[in-house]
Structure 1
Amino acid sequence: MDIEQMKKDLGGGNVFPIGEENVAFAKYFTGECYLNMLTTERVPVGLVTFAPKTINAYHVHHKGGQILMVTGGRGWYQEEGKPARELKAGDVVNIPPEVKHWHGAAKDSWFQHLAVEVPAEGASNEWLEFLPEEEYNKLP
């Protein structure tokens, strides 16, 4: 991990520690990723930090959906069949239930967001395939 580059990309300092390397979900990410679960009570909220070029696989949040609040760096969010949306600090993405999507870092920047799991009875998360690398490489 390049700490100095990470601090520069994420805006200097972090309000929350980046947490531990996200080994439990590593198979769903293309590279280096860190997770700090800020709370698991009532409304789960995690701080997710992606190294440059790291994205997660397509996934679907069944029943509850997800909210992303970007805290630093530059990244991407894309729903299947729609254009990718560039994300930067201060952006918020409300992801409805049952929407297939992926998100992660730009090629040249660390990326960090708060991930809020919207509570719902019977909510679950389904991990799917990765965005093809050639599609990711077309992003600016």
Structure 2
Amino acid sequence: MGECSYIPGSSRCSCENGCAAYRISEVGTEDRNVQLKQNGIVFEQGAHYKVIFKAKSSEGRTIKLAMLSPSYTWYGGEDLVLDKDQEKEFTVAFTMNDETETNASMVISMGAVSEIDTPASTVELSEFSLIRKE
């Protein structure tokens, strides 16, 4: 699974059995202040993709999924709403409209979301799949 990143938000990350658990005590000031990030993904121009994963939060809140270039060009993603203590499976589809990228990132942002109440919570992420659709 990807790397943990959380500055200036305050959290602890643990990974067990394919599940990343973020115990977030402070969400910071921006969604990117707490993140799971996986680099080195190839997206081919014109191809269709879908990301599937499960998420659960100890408090109702919003997290963000983004597929990005190394210079932060946004290829696809979505804001995802989690209900308190309810595991949810998400499927987010997108088409790579830009030129082929060989070092893209998948990012799950769990810091403060602008204009949305973002409580401190434990967020669990698991069972990630990235599928190129034919």
TM category, shorter: 0.3 to 0.5
TM-score (structure 1 length as normaliser): 0.39
TM-score by length of 2: 0.40
Which one has the bigger strand percentage? 2
The structure, 1 or 2, with the larger RCO (C-alpha pairs under 8 Å, 6+ apart) is 2
